[in-house]
Structure 1
């Protein structure tokens, strides 16, 4: 389990989202209800990510960064139709990437401009994906590991 970040809390908000940590970097999964956040979350966990929060995330500005943590008891995840499970988790992580999940079939530009979203007055890179895309997990891991060219 990764060590929680130790920094002064300034202000916080709750988001209907999910969050994972990969190699100490946080990913927020954002999108409307039913778009596939939980399914993508499960695939990221199966690929080796650590659970931060499922369904409701507390985001906090801490100095010059945005941190994510669970609102409800940490480590809980719902597997629809099977109940609530407790996993080993990371309590808090710095958000490095927001993944905007789009409904299946949404048209997207092939080479879009770089995008960011502002959370607590801090710009965070955005990756737009179809949650059901078989390459979604790989796309997220590449975005976390590499610098975008162009």
Structure 2
């Protein structure tokens, strides 16, 4: 099927078992730190800080901008090279937020007309990477 649009968003992205997780939040909110902890648990970098999203049919795929592909900024260390993946179907959006609802609703965020499940999590608690993996298990397959 032909592409039906693309956009670049301010979000870090990792792939977990072939499914992309977008981590969105303001600069300095902990996106890269959280992605680094997910990578330590077996995720693979897609992109750090900016992600290109392309819609093909009913699917939204994530890929890094060419200028930052395979690079990740680690605060206090600098920019490091990491293995990375491209064109990964997006399954979940994690919004960095200090206000995390105890019982979230089934929120969806539409990007290029594709509705993706969105959850709010605080970035730094030790359990946050595990919560993302659990939420991804519940997300419908792209």
TM norm structure 2 = 0.91
Q: Which residue pairs with 2:59 in the alignment?
A: 65
Q: Which runs of 5+ in 2 are unaligned?
A: none
Q: Which residue pairs with 2:22 in the alignment?
A: 28
Is residue 2:114 matched to residue 1:122?
Answer: yes
> Residues 60 and 114 of structure 2 are in contact (CA less than 8 Å); yes or no, is this contact kept in structure 1?
yes
Let me know the Cα RMSD of the aligned residues: 1.6
Question: How far has the Cα of 1:11 moved from its partner?
Answer: 1.3
Of residues 47, 65, 80, the one that matches 1:53 is 47
Q: Which runs of 5+ in 1 are unaligned?
A: 1-6
Q: Which structure has the bigger radius of gyration?
A: 1
Of residues 123, 137, 142, the one that matches 1:145 is 137
Question: How far has the Cα of 1:74 moved from its partner?
Answer: 1.8
Q: Hey, what's the Cα distance between the residues in 1 that align with 2:101 and 2:123?
A: 16
TM norm structure 1 = 0.86
> Residues 48 and 68 of structure 2 are in contact (CA less than 8 Å); yes or no, is this contact kept in structure 1?
no
Q: Hey, what's the Cα distance between the residues in 2 that align with 1:41 and 1:56?
A: 13
Of residues 116, 123, 131, the one that matches 1:131 is 123
Q: Hey, what's the Cα distance between the residues in 1 that align with 2:39 and 2:107?
A: 25
Runs of 4+ in 1 over 4 A off after TM superposition: none
Question: How far has the Cα of 1:146 moved from its partner?
Answer: 3.1
